[in-house]
Amino acid sequence: MRAESSLNVSDASFAYVEPVVRQVALNVSPGSCVGLLGANGAGKTTLLKLLAGLLSPDSGTVRYGDQNVADLAAGDRARLIGYLPQRIPRATGFAVHEIVLMGLYSLLPARHWEGRSEWLAVARALRRIDSLHLLRRSFAELSGGEQRRVLLARALVGDPSLLLLDEPLAALDPGFVLDFTATLGELRDQGVSLVISSHRLSFVRALADSVVVLRRGEFIAQGDPGQILDDELLNAAYGTERFGAAAPTRESAR
Amino acid sequence: MNALATARQRRARVLAAAGALLGVGFVLGPTIGATDLDLAAVWAAPFAWDENPAAAIFFMARLPRVLLAAIVGASLALAGATYQSLLRNPLASPYTLGITAGASLMTFLVIRFVPAGGLAEFTVPAAALVGALLTTLLVMALATRRGGTPPAVLLLAGVTLNFTIGAAVLLVQYFADYTATARMVRWMMGDLEGATYRLLAIQLVASAPAWMVLLRRGRMFNLMSLGLDEAQAHGVDAARETRTGLLWASWLTGVAVAVAGPVGFVGILVPHAVRLLGGVDYRVVLPGALVGGAGFLVLCDLLSRWLLRPVELPVGILTACLGGPFFLILLLRREVGRG
């Protein structure tokens, strides 16, 4: 199943207590990749949760095709959307393969014992992110980076047509980042839509067709990363004046 | 060891162990007790209860009690496992959410204000069940935020309500006369006395549907035990499932507590033991807790009748005596393992 519909956000706002996302509009067409940039607390995670249907907007809409994402049946939504949470769950006692299997939850009947086809899907997803060797390990005993890889495999295992990745690169080593960038590029070329929040500018530049820059819940810029990501915008987004200035040295950092 | 066996194999292993426990309980339960029983005498005229006291003890006094222990134990352990998944807390139990406190309060009010005898056989259990369910609804209402019910808030609401209801329980107890107070204290200890076949039938009819509802939710409980967002993102309607799970677990607790009183620790101890044996997958934990809980309470009841015979100890005292040390050992073992 590949995305044939666009994900469309129009005028969406959300507040926990204070407003976190304010009147944003966004379109993710099939097979495109949108990068979300913004300082800590800018609203990236909340926006992704709105896209994933984990939160419903207070006003405005998040639609997939002609349906409100929040109104989709939970199972339909899960089959459509792969979501990588930023926060790694405390999953004491589960083995890696059991965690990845959870990614198939909505595709299987309520009472189900995994069989050959599920094992193959799990192995394929883990191999795709170069982590098949972790298969039998205990999830809780992995390093932070390894845990995130496993969660990536879980997001991929059900072949979703829309992948929402919240800080997928946190704690990942640079070698893996390069491999993973290539893997995501392949998925995008196969027609999977991607929305990725990240603080790694080079990763976003390499992958995203368009970027959205968030500040305090509002979009301050939106467009082709090659064209709009200049020092001025980055300084505004991250509340600094250091982009474009001389790189900090050992002396200046002291 | 556990990682290499599939969940299905682990379930088979756990069910075999729990089934063996229950089997031993079923064999020993009706034969051992305050008075020695000659089995040959029982089978000489098994259904002539009026003439054969051995058969009367076996079939009328002990067997229903053993079966009641099995049903109550199964329900309490299964409910405990459910609370632990939905609250994401391995120590969660009906006590944590104030549900047994609610059952106690209603029961005590009935003991205090409704004259004993006559309808008391029905009013006390009914009060316990109503108390358990009302408390559950109240906890859920208190903890629901924007359509969701976060486990942390549930826990907080439950603990707070537990204290509040506890105060009311003390008040009712203080203003009760000595006879009523004695009945209250006795009820709090948890006991399986007075089992009849009619009661068994009611218990089974009331509990079995809830067992079915909860047992088929293993895969879902796995996701719920990771967190609401986790479950939601994978296609679980987390808000609805939290409500469903809590209500059915509280129904089971209420039905069990209605006849047996608040027998403690079964709901924590048994799921824990099952996890030690078969891992954390709820497809293993739920059926394991059901059968293991039955076996555990049958054996506890047996011990409570046998240890100080001819005195019969309320089974709740025994489970409490086992529960504390069990967790102490777990705690110490874990600390040693870390050091």
Asked whether the beta carbons of residue B232 and residue A54 sit closer than 8 angstroms, the reply is yes
How far, CA to CA in Å, does B307 sit from each of B314, B316, B317? 11, 14, 12
Query: The tokens of A190 are what?
Result: 């196969």
Distance from the Cα of residue A57 to its chain's centroid = 19
Domain architecture of chain B: domains with CATH: 2-338 (1.10.3470.10)
Whether the CB-CB separation of A30 and A162 falls below 8 Å is answered with no
> Is the torsion defined by CA of B52, B53, B54, B60 positive or negative?
positive
Distance in angstroms (rounded) separating the CA atoms of residues B110 and A49: 49
Asked whether the beta carbons of residue A114 and residue B235 sit closer than 8 angstroms, the reply is no
Specify the DSSP class assigned to residue A194. E
Q: How confident is the model at residue B106 (pLDDT cuts 50, 70, 90)?
A: very high
* pLDDT tens column, A129-183: 889 999 999 999 999 889 998 999 999 999 999 999 999 998 888 888 888 898 8
User: What whole-number percentage of chain B has pLDDT above 90?
Assistant: 54
- What's the distance, Cα to Cα, between the start and end of chain A in Å? 54
* Mean pLDDT for all residues in chain B: 88
* pLDDT tens column, A50-76: 999 988 899 999 998 888 888 888 888
Crossing angle of helices B315-338 and B266-278, rounded to 10°: 40
C-alpha dihedral (A65, A70, A74, A77), degrees to nearest 10: 30
Cis peptide bond prior to B209, omega within 30° of 0:
no
Q: How confident is the model at residue A1 (pLDDT cuts 50, 70, 90)?
A: very low
Distance from the Cα of residue B15 to its chain's centroid = 18
Whether the CB-CB separation of B302 and B25 falls below 8 Å is answered with yes
Distance from CA of B30 to the nearest CA of A (A): 36
Distance in angstroms (rounded) separating the CA atoms of residues B93 and B273: 15
Q: Is B19 on the interface with A (CB under 8 A)?
A: no
* pLDDT tens column, A192-246: 999 999 998 888 998 999 999 999 988 888 888 888 888 888 888 888 888 888 7
pLDDT of residue B118: 67
Q: Is A103 on the interface with B (CB under 8 A)?
A: yes
pLDDT of residue A165: 95
Residue of A nearest to B236 (CA): A74
Look at residue A88 and tell me whether its pLDDT is greater than 50.
yes
Residue of A nearest to B216 (CA): A111
Asked whether the beta carbons of residue A74 and residue B235 sit closer than 8 angstroms, the reply is yes
Query: The tokens of B128 are what?
Result: 């316990």
Q: Tell me the chain A residues in contact with residue B8 when contact means C-beta distances shorter than 8 Å.
A: 113
Q: How confident is the model at residue B334 (pLDDT cuts 50, 70, 90)?
A: low
Look at residue A249 and tell me whether its pLDDT is greater than 80.
no
* pLDDT tens column, B147-167: 678 888 999 999 999 999 999
Whether the CB-CB separation of A182 and A170 falls below 8 Å is answered with no
* pLDDT tens column, A118-131: 999 999 999 988 89
Distance from CA of B227 to the nearest CA of A (A): 7
Q: Give the β-pairing of A210-215 and A218-223.
A: antiparallel
Whether the CB-CB separation of A20 and A217 falls below 8 Å is answered with yes
Alpha helices in B147-196 (DSSP H): 151-174, 178-189
- What is the CB-side half-sphere exposure of residue B149 using CA atoms within 13 A? 27
Look at residue B241 and tell me whether its pLDDT is greater than 50.
yes
Q: Is B10 on the interface with A (CB under 8 A)?
A: no
**Which among A2, A1, A35 is positioned nearest to A191, based on CA atoms?**
A2
Distance from CA of A122 to the nearest CA of B (A): 14
* pLDDT tens column, B10-51: 999 999 999 999 999 999 988 887 777 777 788 777 777 778
Query: The tokens of B233 are what?
Result: 């993102």
Look at residue B264 and tell me whether its pLDDT is greater than 60.
yes
Q: Tell me the chain B residues in contact with residue A111 when contact means C-beta distances shorter than 8 Å.
A: 216, 218-219, 283
B217, B236, B280 ranked by CB distance to A93: nearest: B280
Look at residue B88 and tell me whether its pLDDT is greater than 70.
yes
How far, CA to CA in Å, does A108 sit from each of A78, A111, A114, B233? 12, 8, 9, 15
Distance from CA of B213 to the nearest CA of A (A): 11
pLDDT of residue B290: 97
Look at residue B337 and tell me whether its pLDDT is greater than 50.
no
Look at residue B339 and tell me whether its pLDDT is greater than 60.
no
- 3-class DSSP state for residue B125? helix
pLDDT of residue B150: 86
Distance in angstroms (rounded) separating the CA atoms of residues B292 and B77: 8
Whether the CB-CB separation of A198 and A149 falls below 8 Å is answered with no
The H or E element spanning position A156 is: helix A144-157
Q: How confident is the model at residue B332 (pLDDT cuts 50, 70, 90)?
A: confident
Asked whether the beta carbons of residue B230 and residue A94 sit closer than 8 angstroms, the reply is no
Residue of B nearest to A95 (CA): B3
Residue of B nearest to A77 (CA): B235
Residue from B91, B214, B219, B272 to probe the interface with A (highest A Cβ count within 10 Å) = B219
* Mean pLDDT for all residues in chain A: 88
- What does the pLDDT average to over B137-147? 86
Q: How confident is the model at residue B124 (pLDDT cuts 50, 70, 90)?
A: confident
Distance in angstroms (rounded) separating the CA atoms of residues B100 and B166: 10
Whether the CB-CB separation of A31 and A189 falls below 8 Å is answered with yes
- The identity of residue A121, as a single letter, is A
**Which among B26, B30, B3, B61 is positioned nearest to A97, based on CA atoms?**
B3
User: What whole-number percentage of chain B has pLDDT above 70?
Assistant: 95
**Which among B248, B249, B222 is positioned nearest to B235, based on CA atoms?**
B222
Distance from CA of B84 to the nearest CA of A (A): 13
pLDDT of residue A253: 61
**Which among B277, B220, B223, B222 is positioned nearest to B9, based on CA atoms?**
B277
pLDDT of residue A5: 81
A93, A102, A113 ranked by CB distance to B279: nearest: A93
Q: Tell me the chain B residues in contact with residue A79 when contact means C-beta distances shorter than 8 Å.
A: 235
Look at residue A116 and tell me whether its pLDDT is greater than 60.
yes
pTM recorded for the entire structure: 0.91
**Which among B114, B105, B107 is positioned nearest to B168, based on CA atoms?**
B105
Look at residue B177 and tell me whether its pLDDT is greater than 50.
yes
Q: Is B153 on the interface with A (CB under 8 A)?
A: no
Specify the DSSP class assigned to residue B311. S
Residue of A nearest to B238 (CA): A74
pLDDT of residue A108: 86
Q: Tell me the chain A residues in contact with residue B7 when contact means C-beta distances shorter than 8 Å.
A: 98, 113-114
